[in-house]
Amino acid sequence: MGRTSKSRLGTALPAAPEPTGGDGRLDPVRWRRPARGPLLRLAAVATLLGIAALTAWSPPPTCDPPAYTVSVSGPASPPASPVVPTGSMGVPVRLSDPAALALVAPGNRVDLLRHDEADGSTTPVAESALVLRVTAPDDPTTGGLLLALAPVDAPRAVAGPGQSFSVLIRPG
């Protein structure tokens, strides 16, 4: 009837049951082709899952690549030297009120005034001078302006003892 076999340890194992069919085959379930309705439903579900996966993984058609801006802090290359217009001279001027540096930008036009502390007088030095550079606007103790002045006004823009400068910003 049943066959006995030995395990690896040498003990006898129980006999395997005989197949129920007399031909020795063990296939209790036979495969049949699915009906048309379930096959169509399966195809529709597979198609929808594929479309959902493609739309989830692909970017929208109007998507531009991301733009990254990198701010550099710390020592950078020195700024390019400003171009002094033809017929002018570049003159550095330190202002008596360093807070005014925050209001002035390159390209502005200013009137330069010299104050004499000895007699309290104010003298106009230059009108409508072009601002070429504002140096160190965040550090008012060392900041100043680089102005483009006419050659006749440039010598008067040098401060003597007891003299200081201020600017009037012209509308742009």
Q: What is the pLDDT of residues 39-67, one digit of tens each?
A: 899 999 999 999 998 888 776 666 666 66
Q: What is the pTM of this model?
A: 0.51
User: What is the per-residue DSSP string for the chain?
Assistant: ----EE-TTSPEEPPPPPPSSTT-----S---PPPHHHHHHHHHHHHHHHHHHHHHHSPPTTPPPPP------S--PPPPPPPPPTT-EEEEE-BS-GGGGGG--TT-EEEEEEEETTTTEEEEEEEEEEEEEEE-TT-TTT-EEEEEE-TTTGGGGS--TTEEEEEEEPP-
Q: Residues near 141 by Cβ (< 8 Å), separated by ≥ 6?
A: 98
Q: Is the pLDDT of residue 24 over 90?
A: no
For residues 105-124, average pLDDT: 90
> What are the φ/ψ torsions at residue 129 (nearest 5 degrees)?
-80, 140
Amino acid (1-letter code) at residue 54: L
Condensed to tens digits (0 to 9), the pLDDT of residues 121-152 reads: 899 999 999 999 887 756 655 668 889 999 99
Amino acid (1-letter code) at residue 113: L
The band of 103, judged by pLDDT with boundaries at 50, 70 and 90, is: confident
Neighbouring-strand partners of residue 90? 148
Could you give the percent of the chain with pLDDT greater than 90?
Answer: 19
Domain positions in the chain: 92-169
Q: Edge-to-edge strands of the sheet including 109-116? A: 89-93, 144-149, 121-135, 109-116, 163-169
Report how far residue 14's alpha carbon sits from residue 7's, in angstroms, rounded to the nearest whole number: 10
Report how far residue 133's alpha carbon sits from residue 125's, in angstroms, rounded to the nearest whole number: 19
